[in-house]
Amino acid sequence: MATSLLLLLDDIATVLDDVSILTKLAAKKTAGVLGDDLALNAQQVSGVKAERELPVVWAVCKGSFINKAILVPAALAIGTWLPWLVTPLLMIGGAFLCFEGCEKLAHKFLHKEEHAAEVSKHERAVADPGVDVVAVEKDKIKGAVRTDFILSAEIIAITLGTVQGQSFVTQLSVLVGIALVMTVGVYGLVAGIVKLDDAGLYLSWREDAGSRAFGRGILAAAPWLMKGLSIAGTAAMFLVGGGILVHGVPALGHAVEAWALDAGSLVGGLGSMGANAGVGIVAGAIVLAVVELVKKALKKR
């Protein structure tokens, strides 16, 4: 009996060790999507009145938990009964990430007037006392939850690819762990980011000069942080999406890995990232061109 108990404990320890290692690996692979998720959600909830920022973040966070509650069982079902579908889903998700990155760049640089008009319209709506603030918030929350669903699906798909071939218990543990950590981590950071200006304003009113200077520094840095997150999020789309596409084509993936090993850790690492980004940009541009052509064809009809 004692031997059986020791064997059981050893099995549990082995499973927990596998879960820990795979969770760390999945977290590393999904870090790029996490950065994109953080940047996009921080932008989605920006522009809300200060006293409503945290309630809006919490509402989006609850929507994210619901998204994960749908996606995790779906991923487990695919991993159990349709394992061959994992790689195609990853490739579709990677291509979509690259498309989103190109679409963001095209919208910002090729449609500057439309982009500025949208921002101005939103700012007027928030400032206008006659506007239904609740309706504006609901629209922002719905948009943020839709964005979260897409990015959450990508995170879950990447994690599923990481745990493919493992036992059901290990897959379940890693998927649930990643879902919880990513959701709490992203929306905890989003809540902190959107309240940075309030913290800076509070400190800038303090009596001691050091606090006031620190507060003014936060106020000055907050807009740059948002811009930095936006740039990092866009770059992550190409790096993560391109990386998925590269590794989804075995010959290309092995060729890039072999070159990176020969080139050395620093040059090889940078070269590998460059290859992923290059593939991501090209793939995103192709998908964007196809989507635009389809839109034009549908409009003519």
* CB neighbours of residue 162 within 10 Å: 21
What's the pLDDT at 8?
A: 37
Flag whether pLDDT at 236 surpasses 90: no
The predicted model gives 39-53 an average pLDDT of: 63
Domain for residue 81, yes or no?
yes
* Structure tokens, 2: 């004692």
- Nearest in space to 281 (alpha carbons), one of 133, 33, 102, 151: 102
Long-range contacts from 249-252, C-beta under 8 angstroms, 24+ separation: 252/279
At residue 6, does pLDDT exceed 50? no
For residue 128, tell me if it sits in a domain. Answer: yes
Give the pLDDT score at 232. Answer: 76
Q: Is residue 166 within 8 Å of residue 22, measured between CB atoms?
A: yes
Residue type, 250: P
**How large a percentage of the chain has pLDDT more than 70?**
74
Q: What is the DSSP string of the chain?
A: -HHHHHHHHHHHHHHHHHHHHHHHHHHHHTHHHHHHHHHHHHHHHTTS-GGGHHHHHHHHHHHHHHHHHHHHHHHHHHHHH-GGGHHHHHHHHHHHHHHHHHHHHHHHHT-HHHHHHHHHHHHHHHH-TTS-HHHHHHHHHHHHHHHHHHHHHHHHHHHHHHHTTS-HHHHHHHHHHHHHHHHHHHHHHHHHHHTHHHHHHHHHTSSSHHHHHHHHHHHHHHHHHHHHHHHHHHHHHHHHHHHHHHHHSHHHHHHHHHHHHHH-HHHHHHHHHHHHHHHHHHHHHHHHHHHHHHHHHHHH-
Helix axes 168-194, 53-81, angle to 10 degrees: 160
Does the pLDDT of residue 15 top 70, yes or no? no
Mean of pLDDT over the chain: 77
Specify the pLDDT at position 137: 74
Residue 252 in domain:
yes
Burial class for 252, CB neighbours closer than 10 Å (0-12, 13-18, 19+): middle
Residue 27 confidence (pLDDT): 54
Place of tokens 């994210």: 64
Burial (CB < 10 A; 0-12, 13-18, 19+), residue 120, is exposed
Residues 95 and 89: their CA atoms lie apart, in Å, by 10
pLDDT at 41: 62
What average pLDDT does the segment 171-190 reach?
A: 86
**36-50, 68-82, 160-174: which is most confident:** 68-82
Predicted pLDDT of residue 38: 62
pLDDT at 142 > cutoff 80? yes
Whether 38 is in a domain gets the answer yes
State whether the Cα torsion 167-172-175-181 is positive or negative.
negative
More confident residue, 108 or 91: 91
Rounded-to-integer distance, Cα 277 and Cα 240, Å = 8
Model pLDDT for residues 248-262, shown as the tens digit of each residue: 888 888 888 888 888
pLDDT above 50 for 16: no
109 pLDDT higher than 90 = no
Confidence at residue 62, expressed as pLDDT on a 0 to 100 scale: 92
In-domain check, residue 11: no
Range of the domain at 96: 25-300
Residue 5 inside a domain? The answer is: no
**Is 4 part of any domain?**
no
Would 96 be classed as within a structural domain? yes
Q: What is the pLDDT of residue 7?
A: 40
pLDDT band at 205 (very low <50, low <70, confident <90, very high): confident
- Answer whether 246's CB lies under 8 Å from 252's CB: yes
Percent pLDDT > 90 in the chain is 10
Q: Which of 212-226, 257-271, 285-299 has the highest mean pLDDT?
A: 285-299
Residue 10, pLDDT above cutoff 70? no
In the chain the first and final C-alpha atoms are separated, in Å, by 75
Provide the pLDDT for residue 74.
Answer: 92
pLDDT at 298 over 60: yes
Q: How many domains does the chain have?
A: 1
Report whether pLDDT(124) > 90.
no
pLDDT at 70: 94
